[in-house]
Structures are given as C-alpha cells and as structure tokens.
Structure 1
Amino acid sequence: MSSEYFGKAVRDKIPDIIRDSGSECSVEVLNELLFYVAMKKKLQEEVDEYKKTPCLEELADIMEVVYKLCEMEGFSIKELERVRLKKREERGGFDRSLYLKEIVNTQSGICRCERSDFIYESD
C-alpha cells in the first residue's frame, strides 16, 4: 500500500470520486483565509496545467477557480464581466496579437527592452 501527499484545494466531488475508485483519502475543511490562500495556489496550478496541456478542459478549470476567487473576494461573475468589458473598451482586447518589445522614453533617455526571457533596463 502506498500513499501520496497532495496538500491542495480540490473540487467538491473529488474525495467521492477517489473513494469510488477504491482508494482512500483524507480531506480537511479549511477556514476562509486558508482556503483563499489554497485557491490562489490552485489558480497557478491550473494555469501551469493549461500551459503544459492547452485544452478547453484546462481553461474551464481556470475559470472555475477564478469564479470561486471572485466569490471569496465579494464580487459576482456579473461584476467580473463588467470590469472585463470596461478594460477591453479602454485598453482593447488581444485581437490584434500584439507583442510589446520595447519602450523608449525620449524625455528621460531610458530604454526598457525585452531580450529573450528577461527584462533589460538601461539608462
């Protein structure tokens, strides 16, 4: 018999699914603050999974976590969508596939440039 430690937030039905498969698991109901921290970690986990395996199911997992975080912060999905649309109107979407490579401030002479996987600033 072997066991694995996970230490992460899971969907409500996951313990039942694990037990129905013939395995056992232990879960803990966290207080609001600890669960909030766990959900922020879960968001990164889901984003990492999407980056590894881009698919609709992983995007849905990200949205489920975002929706729960909104609820925990006292926002509704309607409010989230309103803010998303407002930002889209003010700053645009990602429809044009733009990639910012460089900003040159002609007044200060500071150049902020992207090089490979790091940010380089010179003055």
Structure 2
Amino acid sequence: MEPHSRHGKLVRDLIPQIIREDGAEPVTYTASREEYRSRLRDKLGEEVAEFLDADEDSAPEELADVLEVVRALAADLGVGADQLEKIRAAKAAARGAFAQRTVWTGNR
C-alpha cells in the first residue's frame, strides 16, 4: 500500500457540497485506489469505535455508518451488495449466525 499523509480524512461524497452550502470552500483531492482502500480501512475502525461508544438511541445511525463503509470496502474488492449478502448467508447456513447468543468458553 502506498503511504499517505494522515492529514485529512475520507468523507462521504456530498460533504464538500454541504460545506459549500454552509459558505466555506473545502480543499479536497481524489485518493488513489491504494490510498482509498487504506483510508476505507481506517474509516471502518473509526465508525466501529463510534458505534461502540454510542448510546442506544444513536447506535442504529452509527451502525448504518459502519454498513456504508463495509459496502464501500466490498465494492472496492469487486463484490456487490447482493454478492456480499450471498456470502454472508452461505456462512450463516454453514456455521450459523449470532441469533442464539451462544458464548463459547472452551472445550472439555
């Protein structure tokens, strides 16, 4: 992965427009594919941390942000939302999901 400056952060596509509408002029650039992938990974960590810190009222919105980044990462890997769901469903069929709240503590 190519190194990138830690200055700046990956933002949603409409953020520059929103900044302009608020009367400021954003300074932006388009990341290379390698930088984009790296920044998406950073963003996933950021969004997961925000979800973990969220209260019950804001948790769904924070979780939606996590999902947005996951979908962008999947697309970057060439995997569409439908294909990602098929992969998820196949894993759930083969190994289960998390619906039963099972906690493993080791083997006897």
Specify whether residues 15 and 89 from structure 1 end up closer, same or farther in structure 2 by C-alpha distance, changes over 3 A only: same
Q: How many angstroms does 1:60 deviate by?
A: 1.0
Gaps of 5+ in 2: 1-5
How many angstroms apart in 2 are the aligned matches of 1:7 and 1:102? 44
TM-score for both structures, normalised by structure 2: 0.83
TM-score for both structures, normalised by structure 1: 0.73
Of residues 88, 94, 112 in structure 1, which corresponds to 2:92? 88
Q: Rg: which structure is higher?
A: 1
Letter in 2 for 1:89: A
Bigger proportion of residues as helix: 2
What SS class does the counterpart of residue 35 from structure 1 fall into?
Answer: helix
RMSD over aligned CA atoms reads 1.7
Match of 1:43 in 2: 44
Runs of 4+ in 1 over 3 A off after TM superposition: none
Cα deviation 1:6-59 (Å, max 9, x = unaligned): 621100011121222233431111111111110111111110110011521111
How many angstroms apart in 2 are the aligned matches of 1:29 and 1:22? 22
How many angstroms apart in 2 are the aligned matches of 1:101 and 1:8? 39
Q: How many angstroms does 1:103 deviate by?
A: 3.6
The reply to whether residue 19 of structure 1 matches residue 34 of structure 2 is no
Aligned length: 100
Match of 2:9 in 1: 8
Gaps of 5+ in 1: 105-123
How many angstroms apart in 2 are the aligned matches of 1:19 and 1:49? 26
Bigger relative CO (Cα 8 Å, ≥ 6 apart): 2
How many angstroms apart in 1 are the aligned matches of 2:92 and 2:81? 16
The reply to whether residue 79 of structure 1 matches residue 83 of structure 2 is yes
